[in-house]
Amino acid sequence: MLGMMQDWPLLCHKVIDHAATYHGQREVVSRSVEGPFHRTNYAQVRGRAMQLAQRLDRDGYGVGDRIATMAWNTWRHLETWYGILGVGSIYHTLNPRLFPDQIAWIMNDAEDRVLFVDLTFVKLVEVIAPKVPSLERIVILTDDAHMPETSLQNVVSYESYIAEADGDFAWVDLDERTAAGMCYTSGTTGDPKGVVYTHRSNVLHAMAALQPDMLNLSSRDRLMPVVPLFHANGWSTAFSGPMSGCAMVMPGAGMDGASIYEILTQEKVTITAAVPTIWLMLLQHMEKHGGSLPDLKRVVIGGSACPRAITQAFQDTYGVEVIHAWGMTEMSPLGTICSVKPEYAHLEGADKLDLQVKQGHPPFTVEMKITDDENQELPWDAKTFGRLKVRGPAVSSSYYKGRGAEQFDAENWFDTGDVAHVDPHGYMQITDRAKDVIKSGGEWISSIEIENLAVGHPEVAEAAVIGVAHPKWDERPLLVIVVKEGQSPSKQSLLEFLEGKIAHWWMPNDVVFVDEIPHTATGKIQKTALREQLRDYAFPID
């Protein structure tokens, strides 16, 4: 017997309907790309998204069309997502920090027909657009008064584009498994791979993301996604925010410490999310200029491992709780969050920080396991590390055009490419990317664990650890350091700082100082480039 409940498809545009109906006056505040702060609410965001959907429909865009955005987090970008979704098209976020040729490659692969772009990136798009024959129209996310001089063809301002529609439109009805969004993985090796979300996966993922043991979002929150919507599906904030009815604070292009501090305090943000590099900038700004964060309750940190020193500074100095998160573009993206279960409620001080270095435990909708290279499951003893595999309704089942098929097995387990261990309470800790793990004498050394400790040295701005060839051990760790301005720690003091905190055989064989550590377009340490930069390095002979 089948159950007798309604078949109510999980569609993304129902999320903005909910926000507009039950939280319609809730603020959406943005630092506009033009400069001034802009204030709107969910009711207006939905109304304008509806105008956009109507206009796209009139121009012949609909189900299955790929429509690209290259934009900061603002109210217009949010409206654009919902307008595209509401007509059945697919939002395709582009990362402007990639090389122009990579962006053109990605746009051609997706065959984007329209591009919504911020003023900041018009010059970049002038280089890219001629290489993308599928592109028919470019909408600049501004009004007529701010339209720039440009060599681009078929260009229109967003405000005049939507002004031609009155909003008397009905969202398109769809199967919930219809493609909703696309985001390409950063592709540090080989071509980028397209991840294609469904309406259903986005809705289920947002429902999981706002639970108490995840982001714990409510209508009383003021959420600021500093993480751009173009990074890994914007960590779901464009859906989990409106679904919870919280106010949204959109930081626009202001990504430096001073701008983040200004908007956090002025707009009384209660929860915010970004990669560690952003928080390092904020903390360094506050160390220099002073300040406090009286309204901020939680800061979500993920995208790369959150160093212990950042957690400690937020919690001990500013009274803000750190939520360490792990995920991937392929997982919509949230996979685990390090919230405190009752088993660990007694932890305080250094012991609690030890827990928070872990990436945490998954919500309902994510299953995980660790295996060895022969796919045998490994024990959850907080020591044994292996390949981290996941599955669930918001995890990719394949990549666009069938690329990377070897990462998926017959039982739907997706090999994340991360190496991790899990403790008996289900807390996962990433020890490395599979390709970055250091293999010393047949044993594995976690580069991330050493980096996290080294960055806690008071004179260190950033740290990376890579494996370098060694005649006896195969590979040994090399510690690469960027020092804080005006500091000059000795190699010895750095190594002494690590002594006793890691196993003796994990101790780096040497330390090198560099001016800069290369980063990927999403702010992660780019180990391939760093290894390349140091390819002539050899360990001193013992």
Determine which residue in the list 68, 430, 468, 478 makes contact with ligand AMP, applying CB under 6 A.
Answer: 430
Residue nearest to ligand AMP (CB): 329
In the numeric block, which tokens belong to residue 67? 């429509």
Exposed, middle or buried: residue 488 (CB in 10 Å: 0-12, 13-18, 19+)? exposed
Q: Residue 318 class from Cβ within 10 Å (0-12 exposed, 13-18 middle, 19+ buried)?
A: middle
- The least distance separating ligand AMP from the CB of residue 304, rounded to whole angstroms, comes to 5
Range 345-374, binding ligand AMP (CB under 6 A): 359
Stretch that binds ligand AMP, among 44-52, 242-250, 415-423, 526-534 (CB under 6 A): 415-423
Contact 479, 507 (CB under 8 A): no
194 part of the interface to ligand AMP, by CB under 6 A: no
Among 53, 106, 152, 305, which residue sits at the site for ligand AMP (rule: CB under 6 A)? 305
Shortest Cβ distance from residue 280 to ligand AMP (Å)? Answer: 14
385 is an interface residue for ligand AMP by CB under 6 A: no
CB of 53 closer than 8 Å to CB of 83: yes
Catalytic member of 380, 444, 475, 484: 444
Direct distance between the N- and C-terminal alpha carbons of the chain, in angstroms, rounded to an integer: 74
Active site residue 443: no
- Beta carbon of residue 327, minimum distance to ligand AMP (angstroms, whole number): 6
Which segment (4-12, 53-61, 411-419, 498-506) binds ligand AMP by CB under 6 A?
411-419
> Shortest distance, CB of residue 341 to ligand AMP, whole angstroms?
18
Stretch that binds ligand AMP, among 157-165, 257-265, 302-310, 501-509 (CB under 6 A): 302-310
Nearer to ligand AMP, 333 or 508 (CB): 333
3-state secondary structure of 423: coil
Cα 274 from Cα 300, distance rounded (Å):
6
C-alpha 136/C-alpha 365 separation (Å) is 38
* Catalytic, out of 439, 505, 516, 532: 439
Helix (H) or strand (E) holding 438: strand 438-440
Closer Cβ to ligand AMP, 146 or 433, answer by number: 433
Closest CB 329 distance from ligand AMP, rounded Å: 3
Burial class (CB in 10 A: 0-12, 13-18, 19+), 462: buried
The reply on whether position 307 binds ligand AMP by CB under 6 A is no
Residues in the chain: 542
Structure tokens given for 220: 């009383």
Pick 51 or 356: Cβ nearer ligand AMP: 356
Running DSSP on this structure, what letter comes out for residue 534? T
Q: Which is nearer to ligand AMP, 267 or 462 (CB)?
A: 462
| Active-site entry in 330, 449, 451, 462 | 330
- Tracing tokens 């078949």 back to the chain, one arrives at 7
Choice between 311 and 416, CB closer to ligand AMP = 416
Using rule CB under 6 A, residue 416 touches ligand AMP: yes
Catalytic residue among 69, 93, 142, 185: 185
Q: Is 14 a catalytic residue?
A: no
Give the residue, chosen from 104, 217, 283, 328, that forms a contact with ligand AMP under the rule CB under 6 A. Answer: 328
The answer to whether 95 contacts ligand AMP (rule: CB under 6 A) is: no
Under rule CB under 6 A, how many of the chain's residues touch ligand AMP? 22
Q: Which stretch binds ligand AMP (CB under 6 A): 9-17, 218-226, 393-401, 414-422?
A: 414-422
Are the C-beta atoms of 273 and 300 separated by less than 8 Å? yes
Kind of pairing, strands 298-301 and 428-433?
unpaired
Q: Which is nearer to ligand AMP, 89 or 416 (CB)?
A: 416
Residues contacting 217, CB < 8 A, separation 6+: 209, 210, 223, 240, 241, 243, 244, 246, 271
Quote the CA–CA distance of 126 and 130 in Å, as a whole number: 7
Asked about 444 being catalytic, the answer comes back as yes
What is the C-alpha to C-alpha distance for residues 272 and 521, in angstroms, rounded to an integer? Answer: 20
Is 329 near ligand AMP (CB under 6 A)? yes
Per CB under 6 A, the list member of 83, 88, 234, 303 interacting with ligand AMP is 303
Contact status: 433 vs ligand AMP (CB under 6 A)? yes
What's 157-212 look like in SS3? EHHHHHHCCCCCCCCCCCCCCCEEEEEECCCCCCCCCEEEEEHHHHHHHHHHHCCC
Q: Determine whether 330 is an active site residue.
A: yes
User: Site residues (CB under 6 A) for ligand AMP?
Assistant: 185-186, 232, 302-306, 324-329, 333, 359, 416-418, 430, 433, 522
- Active-site positions read 185, 330, 439, 444
